[in-house]
Amino acid sequence: MSITTDPAPMAGLLAPDDLPAAQQPTWPDAAALQSAVATLATYPPLVFAGECDVLKTRMAAAARGEAFVLQGGDCAETFAGASADNIKNRVKTILQMAAVLTYGASVPVVKVGRMAGQYAKPRSSDVETRDGVTLPAYRGDMVNDYDFSAPSREPDPQRLVRGYHASSATLNLVRAFTTGGFADLRYVHDWNKGFVSNAANARYEKIARDIDKAMKFMAACGADFEAMKTTEFFAAHEALLLDYERPLVRTDSRTGELYSTSAHFLWVGERTRDLAGAHIDFVSRIRNPIGVKVSAGADVDDLLRMIDALDPTREPGRLTFITRMGAGRIREALPSIVEKVTASGAQVTWVCDPMHGNTFSSASGYKTRDFEDVVDEVRGFFEVHQGLGTVPGGIHVELTGNDVTECIGGSEKILDADLANNYESLCDPRLNHQQSLELAFLVAEMLSRD
């Protein structure tokens, strides 16, 4: 593994001032911003270039149908939420989902957390009005505070530095969990402990028993379990806040190439994927595996130009299209996009985000999603790819390991009236632990039929 510590040539190269950058905060104090950016530029990398290259090979395998990508985590991480319990529950949930998928569909699962950097949010509106008072919108903990007061909502560049430290602490714990024995497949039962018992847990227990049995059988046959003691786990977030991302780019000492060291995988969101904009320009300059969100309204010629800009050499695993079309539109909108992209010879990894096209405001006023729509969009995704003979490479889900009530439906039958019970998200509604496991069981069935 290479250590990438050389500061990137920042001037000019990574910060062309002339490109429009959507969804950036208006920092009130230019000198304070300069100082925060300069501080970030001196910090050590959070991830290494060699790890990003490994993830690229995993994404390439998923594009060929030899692996399946599971990306999951909060819509918006918060500094206060970066606690040991929250992080552990999220990691356990992803490990459980991966076990269900691997066991159910006999396919390796590439585990990627929306974690350790998912602190900035694009918003539909720059402002929020409550009881006649209008303030800047909350843009994530790396920009401002959710509390509804003028000082809290003012963007504070010191939050970029806090974001780095929170990401570093989170990633440290994730690495400890996934390489320090906790992710050992022989402890597959333990990942279920501490969660309230429910139908999905019970179903998981059954799979865990089967895995246990298989492991004991293999142990009796003299199998070597060394490789099962740890698991690969990658970090990802939206490359939104350029004042955070640019100073964390480093030169890989092996190759002289530039890498983002803020995460293994970065994606550009639906609201910032302007071909002529600063975000696409930024990710075109780094060598990490990258993603772009694609809505039902995406123009396919735009996407083809994007492929040329981001993956001119057609490098396997380099580019992922994360489609987020909505359950009602995916079956009509996705086929022509996949067809034309495939016909162009490009080899992108197709991942389904069944969350962002299915958000609505409930009668009680909460932003929510119906579990049925989430499942239906994934089903549509599989149907389209099966119909075209292309590869459904993974899913990208907003989830938490906690017992929240943010999305309606699922076998617990969460209703609109239940949303108030435990709605914690500061941005979009997440699947709770049980809904996440249920989704994994359903996707395992779709995958094994594929």
Ligand X SMILES: O=C[C@H](O)[C@H](O)COP(=O)(O)O
Ligand Y SMILES: C=C(OP(=O)(O)O)C(=O)O
Annotated binding-site residue numbers for phosphoenolpyruvate? 114, 270-271, 293, 324
**19-78 positions binding ligand Y, by CB under 6 A:** 75
Which of ligand X, ligand Y, Mn ion, none does residue 324 bind to, with CB < 5 to 8 Å depending on kind? ligand Y
Whether 161 and 168 have beta carbons less than 8 Å apart is answered as no
Number of residues that bind ligand Y (CB under 6 A): 9
Residue 365 has which token pair? 């006023």
Q: CB of 123: closest distance to ligand X in angstroms?
A: 4
Q: CB of 73: closest distance to ligand X in angstroms?
A: 12
- Side-chain half-sphere CA neighbours of 355 within 13 A: 27
Nearer to ligand Y, 54 or 426 (CB): 426
Q: CB of 80: closest distance to Mn ion in angstroms?
A: 18
Which of ligand X, Mn ion, ligand Y, none does residue 123 bind to, with CB < 5 to 8 Å depending on kind? ligand X
Q: How many CB atoms lie within 10 A of CB 207?
A: 20
Nearer to ligand X, 406 or 428 (CB): 428
Which of ligand Y, Mn ion, ligand X, none does residue 42 bind to, with CB < 5 to 8 Å depending on kind? none
Residues that bind ligand X (CB under 6 A): 75, 121-124, 427-428
Q: What residue number has its CB nearest to ligand X?
A: 124
* Residue 279 lies near ligand Y (rule: CB under 6 A): no
Longest CA–CA separation in the chain, Å: 71
**348-367 positions binding ligand Y, by CB under 6 A:** 356
| Per-residue binding letters, 100-139, with ligand Y (x by CB under 6 A) | ----------------------x-----------------
What is the dihedral angle through the alpha carbons of 229, 316, 245, 259, rounded to the nearest 10 degrees? 80
Q: CB of 291: closest distance to ligand Y in angstroms?
A: 10
Residue 205 burial (CB < 10 Å; 0-12/13-18/19+)?
A: middle
Q: Residue 86 phi/psi, 5° resolution?
A: -60, -45
* Residue 270 lies near ligand Y (rule: CB under 6 A): yes
Whether 198 and 228 have beta carbons less than 8 Å apart is answered as no
Classified as helix, coil or strand, 149 is coil
Strand-strand pairing, 127-130 and 249-251? unpaired
Q: CB of 367: closest distance to ligand X in angstroms?
A: 6
Whether 362 and 334 have beta carbons less than 8 Å apart is answered as no
Nearer to ligand X, 123 or 175 (CB): 123
Q: Which of 92, 153, 324, 385 binds ligand Y (CB under 6 A)?
A: 324
Spatial separation of the C-alpha atoms in residues 367 and 356, rounded to whole Å: 11
Q: CB of 252: closest distance to ligand Y in angstroms?
A: 27
201, containing H or E segment: helix 199-220
Residues that bind Mn ion (CB under 5 A): 75, 428
Q: CB of 47: closest distance to ligand Y in angstroms?
A: 20
Q: How many CB atoms lie within 10 A of CB 154?
A: 17
Contacts of 151 (CB under 8 A, 6+ apart): none
Binding site for ligand Y (CB under 6 A): 75, 122, 238, 269-271, 293, 324, 356
